[in-house]
Structure 1
Amino acid sequence: MDWVADARLAAGPEAASFLEAVFTPGASVGTMYNDPLTPVVVTGIEEVASLRIPSGRLIVDAPWDDDDMYAYERGLPTRPPRELAQRIPPGAHRMEVAWTAGPYEFMGEQCDGVEVAATRLCISDEPVACWEMALGVGDDVEALKPGDLIGFQADANVGCFSDAGAWTTLCKPFRTFTDGHWGLHETEELPGWCNRVRDESQQADLVTFTKEIGGVVWLGRTRTGAVASIVVASGAVESAA
C-alpha cells in the first residue's frame, strides 16, 4: 500500500514543486522577487560532507540561539535542541547543497545572484513520492491545522544537522565566547558555506548550513513511507498546505 501523508503535515503545491525541483540541475525554482521575468535556476548540486549519525537520532536546529546562549553563559539549564521524531538508519549519510543563480542589478552593477537554495541529507537513493513536515520529539500533530508550519528558529541564519547522542560536545564551539571570539576555530570549513564539528570519541558529526529565519524540515518519503531524504530550504519557500 502506498504511503498517505497526514494532511496536516503534507507539503502544499508550492512547497512540493520547489522540493521536487531544487535538486534537479537546470530546473527553475521560481523567479527573482523584484523581476518576474528572470528565473532562478538550479546550477548544480554539491556534496558537502558524509555526516556521521551513529545514534540514528537526528537534530535539525540552530547550533545556538540568543536565549539559550544567555542561559549557557550563566551556567543555567538550556533548552533541548529540536530532535526529529523520525529515526534514521545509524551510520554516515551524504549531505548536499543545491546552488541556484538569479542574475540581478544592484546600484548599476550586474550580480550573478548565486546562492544555496536548499540543503539535504540523503538517507537512500529511492525516489521520493511525497513530502511532509518533520515532527520534532514532543510535537503534537493533533494540535496542527492544515496550513500550520512547524520547525526551528535559525538565529544568525544558521541551522545544522547533528547526531543527537553527541549534541553537547558537538554544539560547544558555537556556545563558547572567549576573548571576543566564538570558538569557531574548532570547526572545519566545508563547501556551501557550511562548517563541521567532529566528535571522534563517538564517531559523530554536526554540520551547519545557511537558513533564513525559521526552518521547516521536510521529509521526502518513498511510496512505502520510508524516508529517502531530509531537506531544509534556505529561503522562504515554506508553504505547507
Structure 2
Amino acid sequence: MQHANHMADVGPEESALLEAVFTTGARLGVHRNDALRPVHVVEVSVVASIRLPSGRLVVDSPWPEDRPSRELAERLPPRTYDVEASWVEAPYTFMGESFDGRECAAARLLVRDGPVSVWQVARAADNDTEWRSGDETGFGTDTSMGAFGDASAWQALTEPFRRFWERGAQPPGVAIARETEKVRSGEFEKVTDPAGRADLLTIPAEEGVTTVWIGRDAAGQVATVAVAPYLSWLA
C-alpha cells in the first residue's frame, strides 16, 4: 500500500521487529556479536510527556550540527504527547563476571491509540537535512543521542546542549553541568522552553545514521513516530 505522501511501506520482517521491540516479553533474536546471546524486551513504559504547540516535530541530534535540524514532513495535531521507551536484556559474561546487558532499545512518540497497520521511513520536510549512508536515511550523529522536540522552539530547546558544547574546553577535572532535567536517573534529558510552551526529550540514537519510522493506523493516520537503534545489533 502506498499513501498520499509517497512514503514506501517497509517489509514484513522489519515491520515485525518494530512491533516486537515495543512488546514486553518479546524475543527479538540474538546479538550480532554472539549467536548464543538471546535478546528479550524486558520493559516498555512511558518516560515523559512533551508539548508540541506547532505540531511540527523534529527528530534529530540535540547537539550542534553544521546543518539545519531534521524536521519531519508529517504534521501532527498540536498538543502534548507521551514518549514511550523500550528496554532489552541480552545477558553475557565477561572475564568471569555476569552482566544483564540491559539497554534502552527504542523510543516512540505516541500519537494515536490503536495498533499500527503499516510502518514507513519518515521523510524530512527539507531534503537538505537528510543524512544518507548507503541505503539508510535519517539523522546523523556521533553521540548516540537523538531527541524529539518542537520545531518552532528547537533553537531554544537545544541551547543547553550548545552551551555545554561551547564550555567543553575546560581544565582537566572541572565538572560541567548540563542545564537539563534528568529523567529516569539521567537516562533521558528533558528541556522546557517556557516562552514557547514546548519541550524536548532526548532519546537513544545510533552512531552514524538513525532511521526515523512512522507507524500508521488502518485509516492511514499517524499512530506513532519511532526510533529503534538497538535493532542494528541483532544478527
- TM-score normalized with structure 1 length: 0.83
Q: Percent same amino acid at aligned positions?
A: 44
**For residue 157 of structure 2, what is the aligned residue in structure 1?**
170
**For residue 100 of structure 1, what is the aligned residue in structure 2?**
88
Distance 2:114 2:21 in 1: 17
Tell whether the 8 Å contact from 1:175 to 1:183 is kept in structure 2 after alignment. no
* C-alpha displacement of 1:27: 0.4
* C-alpha displacement of 1:196: 0.5
Give the alignment partner of residue 230 of structure 2, picking from 226, 230, 235: 235
Q: 1:118 to 1:54 in 2, by over 3 A?
A: same
Tell whether the 8 Å contact from 1:54 to 1:91 is kept in structure 2 after alignment. yes
- How many residues were matched structurally? 221
1:86-139 Cα shifts (integer Å, max 9, x gaps): 011111000011011010111221110000110100001121001000000123
Query: For residues 33-72 of structure 1, what are the structure 2 equivalents within 5 Å?
Result: 33-65=32-64, 68=66
Q: Which residue identity lines up with residue 108 of structure 2 in the other structure?
A: R
**For residue 192 of structure 2, what is the aligned residue in structure 1?**
198
1:184-217 Cα shifts (integer Å, max 9, x gaps): 5310011271101100111100111121222100
Distance 2:160 2:188 in 1: 14
**For residue 123 of structure 2, what is the aligned residue in structure 1?**
135
Q: 1:93 to 1:158 in 2, by over 3 A?
A: same
SS, match of residue 26 in structure 1: coil
Gaps of 5+ in 1: 69-78
Distance 1:8 1:165 in 2: 24
Distance 1:110 1:13 in 2: 35
SS, match of residue 75 in structure 2: coil
Structure with higher strand content: 2
Q: 1:87 to 1:8 in 2, by over 3 A?
A: closer
**For residue 2 of structure 2, what is the aligned residue in structure 1?**
4
CA RMSD of aligned residues (A): 2.5
SS, match of residue 208 in structure 1: strand
SS, match of residue 143 in structure 2: helix
Q: Which residue identity lines up with residue 88 of structure 1 in the other structure?
A: L
1:210-236 Cα shifts (integer Å, max 9, x gaps): 212221000000111100011101225
SS, match of residue 214 in structure 2: strand
* C-alpha displacement of 1:157: 0.7
Distance 2:201 2:12 in 1: 30
**For residue 76 of structure 1, what is the aligned residue in structure 2?**
none
**For residue 113 of structure 2, what is the aligned residue in structure 1?**
125
Q: 1:182 to 1:61 in 2, by over 3 A?
A: farther
SS, match of residue 84 in structure 1: strand
